[in-house]
Chain A
Amino acid sequence: MDLALKNNLLENIAISSDATGNIRHQALDTLRSLGLPTSKTEEYKHTAISRLLEKNFQHLGVSTEKSNITVDTFRIQDLDAHVLVFINGVFDQAQSVFSTEELNIQPLAVALAERKELIENYFSKLADTKADAFVALNTTTWNNGLLIEVKNNVQVTKPILIHQINDASKSKVITASRNLILVGKSSEVSIIEKYDSMGEANFSTTVNEVFVAENAGLTYTLIQNDSGQRYQFNHTSIQQESNSRVNCFTLSLNGKAIRNNLQLSLDGEGIDSHMYGLYLLTGDTLADNHTVADHRKPNSISNELYKGVMDGNSKGIFNGKIYVRPQAQKTNAFQSNRNILLSDKATVNTKPQLEIWADDVKCSHGCTSGQLDEEALFYMQSRGIAKDSARAFLLYAYAGEVIEKISNETLRNYIDALVSERLHKNF
C-alpha cells in the first residue's frame, strides 16, 4: 500500500506578511518537511484525516467565501456571556456582544502588531509546530482569532463564548483561527468555544495558547456539534503556574472528523488540573482526543476522565499521556477512559500512556471498553420501559458522570439537554 500522500494539499498556500510573517514562513518550512500525517505517523495512527482532506479539498489554504447567516440558531439560550461570533473565519462585530470593562478582548492580529512583547513571550511558544503538522499549518495560515487578556486579580463574572460557525452551503470553506489567552495572577475566567457548521465539506484548524499565572483559575469548554461535514483540528496548549486551577471540558457530538489536542503543562507547584471529555458518536464520525498532562514540578494533581459512546460506523480514538518529570515528586495523576460500543461497525482505539521519571508519585490509569449492562436493561424492560428508552436512560446516566463536572449551571443544563436529546433520538 502506498502511504505517501499527494502533497498538493500544501501547495498554493499564501502567506500574509503581518507581524508574525517570519514565524509563518518557518512554520510552512516545518510543515513541508513534516508532510501531512499518514497512518505511519504514531500520533495519527488510527486517524486517517489527511486522506479525508485529500478527498475533499484541493489545497489547505484559508478560503475567502463570505456568509451572512445569523448566529441565532446556534446560541446557548439564557447564557449571560460575552459573545464573540466568527462566521467563515471572519469576526462578525454586529452579532457579537461583549464589554471590555473587566478584560481586554481584541483581534489577535491587531494586538500582535501593536505589542511586540506578545510575540516575544507568548505567541507560538506553547504549540510546537514540529510536533504536529496541523499546528504548523495553522501557524502558517491563521487569519482570525483573539487576544483575551485578563489582568491580575480580576474575577471575570461572565463567561466568554466564542462561536466558530462555518457556512459551506455555497462552497467549501477552510478557516484557521488562533487565540492567545493570558490569565493574570489570582484571576478567574471561563471560556467556551462552540463549533457549528452547515452545508458541504469544510475544514477548520484552531490553535489556542493559554497562559495561566499563579493562583489563577481557568475553565475551558469546547462544544463540537457540527452538521456532519466538518473536518476539524483543535489544539489547545495550556501552561499553568503555581497554585493555578484549570478545568477543561470537551464535548464532541457531530462532525466528519475531529482531532483535539489538549496539552496541559503543569509548570509550578500546587497545581490542580482536570480534563473531562465526552464523545457521543454516530454515523461515520471520527473523534480523536489526544491529551497530555505534563507534570514538571512537584506537588501537583492532574485528573482526567474521558467517556465515549460509539454507534453506527463511528470511530473513537483516545490517547492520554501523563508525563512526570524527574523533579515532579509527590505528583498525583489519574486518568480514566471508558468506552461503550453500540454497533459492530463502530471501533475504539485507546492508548492511555504513562511516562514516569520520579519515584515518589501516585499515578494510575484505567480504561475499559464494553457494552451496556444486559441485566440493567432487562430490569428496566421488565418494568415496562421500552428497550430504546431504557438504553437511552442508561447512556444518559453514563454520560452524567462527566456532565455534572460543569460548574456553570446554565451551560450544564444546555449540554445536558443536548446530550439527552441526542441519546433519545440517535442511539
Chain B
Amino acid sequence: MAKDNQVLEEITSKEYEHGWTVDLETDSAPKGLSEDIVRFISAKKSEPAWMLEWRLNAFRQWQKMTEPKWPNVTYPEINYQDIIYYSAPKQAAKPKSLDEIDPELLKTFEKLGISLTEQKRLTGVAVDAVIDSVSVATTFKATLAEMGIIFCSFSEAVREHPELIKKYLGSVVPVNDNYFAALNSAVFSDGSFCYIPKGVRCPMELSTYFRINAANTGQFERTLIVADEGSYVSYLEGCTAPQRDENQLHAAVVEIYAMKDSHVKYSTVQNWYPGDKQGKGGIYNFVTKRALCAGDHSKVSWTQVETGSAITWKYPSCILKGDHSSGEFYSVAVTNNMQQADTGTKMIHIGKNTKSRIVSKGISAGKSQNSYRGQVHIMKRAENARNFSQCDSLLMGDQCGAHTFPYIDVENSTARIEHEATTSKIGEDQIFYCQQRGIDEESAVALIVNGYAKEVLNQLPMEFAVEAQKLLALTLEGSVG
C-alpha cells in the first residue's frame, strides 16, 4: 500500500507538460462584455451586417438566460465582465504560405508536436490551426479546393461563403439553446468551417488545433461542418492550453449538419490545463456539440478523449431525424487531482429505424469527480429504434468519485433500449497476474487502463490514437487503487 501511495503521489505530482507561454504580441479587446464588445469583435473581423445582427440577437438572448446549475460540478462564480473576449495574434498581413508566419508561432506548434510543415509533408493532415481565436494558417487548402471541399477559418467563410453560413449557422445549435451556446454565438471569435460537397469522400483527415495562449482570455470558437449528400469526412480536434493561474473560460460550439447518406466522424483529444494539485487554475470547458442527422441513412460518430480541463461540461449529441440514421458516441474521460467532469451524450431518436450506440469509459483518480450524464430519447415516430449504451467507471484511490446519470425516455413500443453501467477498480489479481509474468506494477496499470479504454481508442484515427494513448499513460500510469 505504501508503494502504491508513493507511485500515486509521483503521478499526481507530475507537472503539466504543455505549460509554457510564448510571447506573442496580441491585439486584444478590453475586458468585459457589452453590446459594444460584440460590435468590436464583429468590426475586427470585418463582418457583414447580418452577422453582427446575428451576434447581437444572441447577446440579447444571453442576457435573459441564467447559468445552468444542474451539472454535478462546483466552481466559483464566473465574472463574465472580467474576461477578455477577443485576443488575436498580431500580424501585418494575411499569410499566403507557411513561410510568412511568425516564427514564434511556428515554434509554439512545434512544441506541441504539430509542426505544420512536418505534418504537411509527412502525414497528409490538413491543419487549420487556431491560436487565441484567429485561424492562422490552413494547409492543404488547395488540394481540398480541387475536390470542391471548403475547409477554412470561420471568418473567411463568413466573407466568402455567406450563403452557406446563413443557411446552416445556428441550424443545429440555435442561439438560445443554452447559456454557454448563447454566449458563444454572441462573441465567437473564430473557428473552422467545413463543407463537403455531394458524393465527395474527403481524402484526408481534417484537423484543427485549438490552444489558449494569452492570459485572461476566454476562447469561444465555433465549428460548423456541413456534409452534403453521400459525402464522408473525418474531422479531428485537439486542444491544449499553457499553464495559467486564473481559470480560463472556454465555451465552444460545434455544429454538424449531415445530409442524406453522409457520414461524419468527429474526434477530439482534449488536453487542456487541468489546474494544479490544489485545483488552482485550469480551464473551464463548457462546450456545446451537436450533430443533426437530417437526411436518411446519415451517420455521425463522436469520439472523445478527455484528459484535461479543470471542469468539463460537454455533451456531444446526435439528433437522429432522418430515417435509418445512426449516431455513435465513444468517450474516455480521465480526471485526476481536483478535476471535475460532467460529460456524456444525448441521442434523440426521431426517424424510423434509427440506431445509436454509446460507449463511455470514465477513469477517476486523485480527488476528482467524474460524471456520465446521458439521455436516450425515443420519440413517438421512431419505429424500430435501437440503442445500446455502456458506461463503465474505473476508480483509482478512495478519494475520487464516479457518477452515472443516464436518462432513458421511451415513447415508442417497438424501440429496443439496452443500458448497462459498471463501476470497479483495477483488480489486484489482474495486477498480480501481470507481475507474475515480469511486468512491473506501473506498466501493468498502463496495460490494463489501455485495455479498458481500447474500445474507444480504436475509434480514433491513427494520428490521434498514438497521442491519446500517451496522454492516458501520462495521467494515470501507476495509479493503483
Which residues of A approach B to under 8 Å, CB–CB?
42, 46, 324, 326, 329, 339, 341-344, 346-371
Contacts and interface: CB of A to CB of B under 8 A. Distances in A.
B420 A348 contact: no
A370 B423 contact: no
Interface in B389-424: 393, 395-424
A354 B402 contact: yes
Given A341-B413, A350-B407, 20 more contacts: A339-B410, A341-B410, A341-B412, A341-B415, A349-B409, A350-B409, A351-B406, A353-B403, A354-B403, A354-B404, A354-B423, A355-B401, A356-B402, A356-B423, A358-B395, A363-B424, A367-B418, A369-B410, A369-B416, A371-B416
Contact of B408 (A329, A346, A369, A371): A369
Nearest to B416: A370
B406 A370 contact: no
B420 A364 contact: yes
Nearest to B418: A368
B402 A365 contact: no
A346 B413 contact: yes
B419 A357 contact: no
A344 B412 contact: yes
A85 to B, nearest CB: 39
Contact of B420 (A329, A350, A365): A365
Contacts of A361: 395, 423-425
Interface residues of B, number: 36
A342 B415 CA distance: 11
Given A344-B380, A359-B397, A352 B413 contact: no
Nearest to B421: A365
A370 B415 contact: yes
B281 interface: no
B75 interface: no
A378 B473 CA distance: 52
A148 B57 CA distance: 63
A369 B402 CA distance: 25
Given A42-B70, A344-B380, A368-B419, A356 B401 contact: yes
Nearest to B375: A351
A326 B395 CA distance: 12
A199 B101 CA distance: 82
A347 B399 contact: no
B405 A351 contact: yes
B437 to A, nearest CB: 24
Interface string B273-317: 000000000000000000000000000000000000000000000
Interface in B415-440: 415-425
Contact of B410 (A326, A347, A358, A365): A347
Contact of B417 (A42, A362, A370): A370
A371 B420 contact: no
B410 A348 contact: yes
Contacts of A350: 407-409
Interface-central residue, A347, A348, A350, A356, by most chain B CB under 10 Å: A356
Contacts of B395: 356, 358-359, 361
A343 B413 contact: yes
Contact of A360 (B398, B403, B421): B398
A76 to B, nearest CB: 33
26 contacts: A324-B423, A344-B411, A347-B410, A349-B409, A350-B407, A351-B406, A352-B421, A356-B393, A356-B402, A357-B400, A358-B395, A359-B396, A360-B398, A360-B425, A361-B425, A362-B423, A363-B422, A364-B423, A366-B419, A367-B417, A367-B418, A368-B416, A368-B419, A370-B416, A371-B414, A371-B416
Contacts of A367: 406, 408, 417-420
A396 B205 CA distance: 53
Nearest to B395: A359
A135 to B, nearest CB: 22
Contacts, number: 118
A84 to B, nearest CB: 39
Contacts of A342: 413
Contacts of A368: 416-419
B481 interface: yes
Contacts of A351: 405-408
A352 B412 contact: no
A371 B385 CA distance: 12
A109 B398 CA distance: 45
Nearest to B378: A369
A368 B387 CA distance: 10
A148 B399 CA distance: 40
Interface in B8-67: none
A367 B397 CA distance: 28
A326 B402 CA distance: 11
A354 B403 CA distance: 5
Interface in B201-225: none
A357 B72 CA distance: 13
A286 to B, nearest CB: 14
B363 to A, nearest CB: 11
Contacts of B404: 352-355, 365
Contacts of A344: 380, 411-414
A359 B398 contact: yes
Nearest to A370: B416
Closest 9 CB pairs of A and B: A341-B413, A359-B395, A366-B420, A369-B417, A354-B404, A363-B423, A364-B422, A370-B416, A359-B481
A362 B422 CA distance: 7
Contacts of B421: 352, 354, 364-366
The listed residue with most A CB atoms (<10 A of its CB), out of B395, B400, B481, is B395
Contacts of B422: 362-364
Contacts of B378: 369
B408 A349 contact: yes
Contacts of A341: 410, 412-413, 415
A359 B1 CA distance: 14
A361 B404 CA distance: 15
Nearest to A315: B411
Q: Tell which of B378, B403, B419 has the most Cβ of chain A within 10 Å.
A: B419
A360 B425 CA distance: 6
Contacts of B416: 368-371
Residue among B395, B396, B408, B425 facing the most chain A CB atoms (10 A cut-off): B408
A389 B380 CA distance: 27
Nearest to B369: A357
A354 B421 CA distance: 9
A347 B380 CA distance: 9
A369 B401 contact: no
Given A356-B402, A368-B418, A370-B417, A362 B411 contact: no
Contacts of A352: 404, 406, 419, 421
A356 B424 CA distance: 10
A283 to B, nearest CB: 16
A369 B414 CA distance: 9
Contacts of B420: 364-367
Contact of B403 (A349, A356, A371): A356
